[in-house]
Structures are given as structure tokens and as C-alpha cells.
Chain A
Amino acid sequence: MTDKSRLSDEQLDEYLNQIDAVCNEFDQNEPDIAIDRQIIAAAHRELENPNPKAMPVYSWWRRLSLPLYAAATVSFTAFAVHWLWPGSAPTPEKVYMSPVEIEVREPAPQVVEQKHNKRSLPEQKELVMPEQVLTKSEAVLLPKAKTSNDADEEVVLEDSFASASEQDLDEEKALVESIEEKNLIVVTGSRIKREELSEAMTAEDEKRGEKLSFPSEQQWIQQIIALYQSGKIEEAKKEQVKFKQVYPDYPIDELIEPFKS
């Protein structure tokens, strides 16, 4: 409508007042008195006899619906957790996993040939040190690098007592023989059965502690000095390093220094 822009707010109010004046002058219509009476009577009736349909209804279901929904939700969740997914239930305390069987496989064999070793025996070219001979239990516990996969080949670890005396070597030899007699393992690449392991563990664990013991400081130092004097510098250094690992507080460097030259 194009006339819209012509009317300002003041003009609009002024014209509305004119219309209102005309309406008020001529329109004084009122409802009949009978209608008034009917409506007021209805109002009185409503007060005396309230319409139950008009009254607000507070049913028990409306009051209890929220707690019931909450209880149903919790129950369903518990049912789902304990029955539909039993694996997700927490494990009771003091229940442990069954023992894991570890299959020992062989890496490359570690054989140390000692060409100029005094310990070379006529019937045994390779020396197997009793401390490094693995029992069946040790074979399970040791890392793979110390075992052999080849059934025909024995795993021989590096000899840490290359400079052992003849007396020590004889003891070691005797010890190896005793171990072999008792069916202790020099680890083969074959799979070790659990039953054999359990039998061997009990008897040999006691001896193992004795075998892994090192010589006394004085005895070991004399061995190292003998190596230096015989010109086996590399072996002497290795023994010296091992000595420091075993006896870190012992002043071996100062004692050995005169013999190095």
C-alpha cells in the first residue's frame, strides 16, 4: 500500500482517535441482561460444584514416573554389564593367570675357540665352563641369545675364566662331567619340557649358587698378574674388568699397574 509512507505516528494516532470517537459515540452495544445472568450463574456454579475435568489431575503415575524411569535405567544397565558382557566384569583378587610356556629358540651359536688356551683338553676341543652351563631352568629364563636351535650343537658361552689355573680347570672338568651324569642340560635347541625342568630345578639350584661364586680377591689378582706377565694383555684386561664389576671398591688398578709394563 503506497499510503503507508504518508502516515506518521502522530497522524496514525490522530486518525485512530477519530475512529475511536465515532465508535464510542455509536457503538455502545452491551450484552443482554439475560446473558449476564447466565454467565454469572455459571461462575457461581463452578465455585459450588467444580468441574472435575477442569481441575488439575495429580495422578500417582505422574508422581512416580521419574523415580521409576531412573530405577529401570539403573537395573537395565546392571543387567547389561553382568549378563550380556560377563567378560568385562572385574577379576577377583588373588586370581592369577596360568603359567606361560615359553618356547626357547636358538639364535646363532656362540662358540669361542680358544686356540692358545691352557685348558684345552685332549678329548674336548671346546671348553664349556660349568658356571655357564645352563640348567633346564636357566634355559627357560635366559634370553634367546644364549640358546641354540640346532639339536646337534651345544651352546657354549664365552669363558669367563680363561686364565684359570690347572687346578681350577680340573675342578671345572669334574663338574661338567657330574652335570652330564645328572642329565643336566647343556642347552640344546630342542624344546624343554616342563616336567624335566621342574625336576632339575630343585637339585641344581643349590649347586648353582656355589658355581657362580667368584674367586677371592687375592687369588683373582694373582691370576690377572700372571696373565700380564705371560703377555696375554687382552685376556688380562677382560679379567680386570670383570674383577672391577665384582669388587668395585678394590684398588686393583694401582696393584696391577707395575705389572702392565
Chain B
Amino acid sequence: MDKAVLNDEQLMLEYANGSALAFEQLYQRHKGGLYRYCLRQLRHKSKAEECFQEIWLKLINSRVNYKPTALFTTYLYRIAQNHIIDMARKDNRSGTEVEMEPETIESQGFAEPLEALTREGQHTRLRTTMAKLPIEQKTVLLLKLDAGLSLEEIATVVDCGKETVKSRLRYAVSFLKQQLGEL
């Protein structure tokens, strides 16, 4: 069977049946979005990498329990969301302040420093403003932007209704537009 035409659910079932190639393909499809999601949520590169690894390990360990009753993306991001919440609770308990590290900004690699500062400034302001959002609105917005989920899929991940998701998204966008103006 050609793995290129298989969807995420079929690839996950293939991996559960012992196909490592299916997992590699699945990983290539989702590693970028999931990594950025962790990075934006935790605002700390090393924590994001740790979280990213643990999410994939959880997925690997639960391969035999996977049932394609829902989309694979919602399954993956639900694991991610629960793990991020756990990490945030641990950080709150230990009193660790999670802040974006300078290396995250420095890693962009623009050719011209002035241009980089200008364009980076717009992007940085966007991310800074997004960080001010309440956690529920920020989660919905990041799942929409980084993971590319639909409203129904986001509702499944955060375990609430579609209208609730839409309302949170509307509040978040309104706040960004009020703070940043037109982009």
C-alpha cells in the first residue's frame, strides 16, 4: 500500500501494526505545527523541546490503544494540550517564571539587521500581544494558527462547544486588532 496517499488515521493504524515507516511519515507531517504550538504556549525553547519529545513518546506508547474514532490531529493535540497544562501546573507549583528566551528571537536569521528588526518587530509585537491573551483564548488561537485545526476540531481538543470556541476566537482577534491595528 502506498503510504503517500494514506491519511493520518491510516498511518497511525499502520504504525500500531508495526510499520515504522508510517510513523516517520506521520511525524514529518505534524512535527512543525506541534513544535510551534508548544513553543508559543510555553514561550521557552528548551521547555518546548522537552514537551515536544514527551508528547511524541506518549503517542508512541499509546499506539496499541489508538482507535480512529476521531481525527488524528485532534488526538495528537489533545495529548499536547493535556501535557502542556501539566507542565504549566508544575511550573506554577515550583514558582518558575516562563519567559521567551532570547535565542528564540535570534534564531530567525535575517540577512539585513534593519529589515529584520522591522519585520521582526511586527512579528514580535504580535507574539507579545498574543501572550497577553487569557489562556483559553490563546489556546484556541494557537490551535487555529499553528495546528490549522477547524472550529469543530478545536472544540474536540479543548473539550467544549463549537460556539464557545468561536466566541473565544472572536474575543482574541478583537483584542489583537485593538492592540496592533491592521497588519
Contact = CB atoms under 8 A, between A and B. Distances in A.
B59 to A, nearest CB: 9
Contacts of B177: 3, 7, 15
Contact of A18 (B31, B174, B178, B182): B182
A66 to B, nearest CB: 22
Contacts of B182: 18
Nearest to A50: B64
Contacts of B178: 3
Main secondary structure of the interface of B (DSSP, over half): helix
B72 interface: no
Interface string A28-61: 1111100110111011101100110011100000
Interface in B110-153: 119-120, 122-123, 126, 144-146
Contacts of B62: 54
Nearest to A32: B49
Given A19-B145, A29-B39, A35-B53, A46 B176 contact: no
B176 A15 contact: yes
Contacts of A29: 32, 35-36, 39, 104, 107
Interface in B28-49: 31-32, 35-36, 39, 49
A212 interface: no
Contact of B126 (A19, A35, A40): A19
Contacts of B104: 29
Contacts of B60: 39, 42-43, 46
A12 to B, nearest CB: 6
B124 to A, nearest CB: 9
A20 B108 contact: no
Size bracket, chain B contacts:
35 or more
B151 to A, nearest CB: 11
Interface in B79-133: 104, 107-108, 119-120, 122-123, 126
Contact of B183 (A19, A32, A35, A51): A19
Contacts of B20: 40, 43-44, 47
Contacts of B64: 50, 54-56
B122 A22 contact: yes
Q: Pick the most buried of A6, A26, A44, A56: most chain B CB atoms within 10 A of its CB.
A: A26
A7 B174 contact: yes
Interface in A1-31: 1, 3-4, 6-7, 12, 15-16, 18-23, 25-31
A193 B5 CA distance: 105
A7 B145 contact: no
A22 to B, nearest CB: 6
Interface in A123-177: none
A211 B15 CA distance: 107
B75 interface: no
Q: Which 8 A-B pairs have the closest CB atoms?
A: A3-B174, A26-B123, A18-B183, A54-B61, A43-B23, A39-B56, A31-B35, A46-B60
17 contacts: A4-B167, A7-B173, A20-B145, A26-B108, A27-B36, A27-B123, A29-B39, A30-B35, A31-B31, A35-B52, A39-B57, A40-B20, A43-B15, A43-B20, A46-B63, A54-B61, A54-B62
Interface of A: 1, 3-4, 6-7, 12, 15-16, 18-23, 25-32, 35-36, 38-40, 42-44, 46-47, 50-51, 54-56
Given A15-B173, A29-B35, A31-B35, 9 more contacts: A15-B176, A15-B177, A16-B144, A20-B145, A25-B119, A35-B52, A36-B27, A43-B56, A55-B64
